[in-house]
Amino acid sequence: MILTKAQYEEIAQCLVSVPPTRQSLRKLKQRFPSQSQATLLSIFSQEYQKHIKRTHAKHHTPEAIENYYQRYLNGVGRNGAAPVLLELANEVDYAPSLMARIILERFLQGHEQTPPSKSVINNMLRDPSQIPDGVLANQVYQCIVNDCCYGPLVDCIKHAIGYEHEVLLRDLLLKKNLSFLDEDQLRAKGYDKTPDFILQVPVGLDQAWSSIGTDLSRNWTATGKEASCSKPLSPQTSSPYAIAQLDPEDPGREAGSNVTFLPYKLLATSALNFS
């Protein structure tokens, strides 16, 4: 189904007043039953990523961090079993997993002689049982499992989806009898950049890339050793693959908003048509 710019803006406007939770996605599906869940999740992720980019800095000032930490301590002091961190994240309109990271870093700074490394923090977020404080471990776990945009659980899901599309793309290339090299073969040849696949023989194709609802859509045509960009697409797009990619190491980065076509290099998340 084609998604018009007006429909996108209506959905985006609806997202302004809802927190980034799975319950909100269910309400969104009820509000817009004609749109697929994948489309709604894509728009939800993209709009929320924009929001995080705009507000990321204010949540990481020393004053804000100390304020959040003291509110966390007061909350668990009253009731350690209550979802204090999750409620705090929703109250200040920040991603639960990112709030958990802030509090975990502050906790470790107060209990360790040396500042915790990024790898230590990441390992504890992936496996909260490694956190030395049981109450905080439970609070972090609640944030991770209830965050549908950020965190290690979301990263795992994205990795699985990416691998699935890589397998589908490989099958498509084999079905069309196209000669290609995969990532392992490229690494063995010493390539420093390794896309999922690189075509050994050029093919002519028209490919529409889009980031849903933005003005970044272009029509790319590859016919030789270079890729050319023609006129922008209309405000309508039917691409089911324009899903915002969320970067846990840099939440302010719009990883899915600037797509570049590389000649003969195919990414598994591309919607290719060789017919």
Q: What does the pLDDT profile of the chain (275 residues) look like in tens digits?
A: 677 888 888 888 888 777 666 677 788 888 888 888 888 888 888 888 888 888 999 999 999 999 999 999 999 999 989 999 999 998 998 999 999 999 999 999 988 777 889 999 999 999 999 999 999 999 999 999 988 889 999 899 888 988 898 999 899 989 988 888 888 888 898 888 888 888 888 776 654 444 444 444 333 333 333 333 333 333 333 333 332 233 334 443 333 333 333 334 444 433 333 33
Q: What are 23's two structure tokens? A: 């319950």
The pLDDT value recorded for residue 31 is: 87
Cα dihedral angle (236, 241, 242, 243), rounded to 10 degrees? 140
Q: What are phi and psi of 167, to 5 degrees?
A: -65, -45
21 near 146, Cβ under 8 Å? yes
Place of tokens 């929320």: 48
62 near 272, Cβ under 8 Å? no
The pLDDT value recorded for residue 73 is: 96
Question: What is the C-alpha separation between 223 and 183, in angstroms, rounded?
Answer: 23
Question: What is the C-alpha separation between 95 and 92, in angstroms, rounded?
Answer: 9
The pLDDT value recorded for residue 3 is: 78
| Of residues 38, 102, 32, the one with CA closest to residue 68 | 102
- DSSP E strands: which ranges in 92-185? 180-182
Place of tokens 């950020």: 150
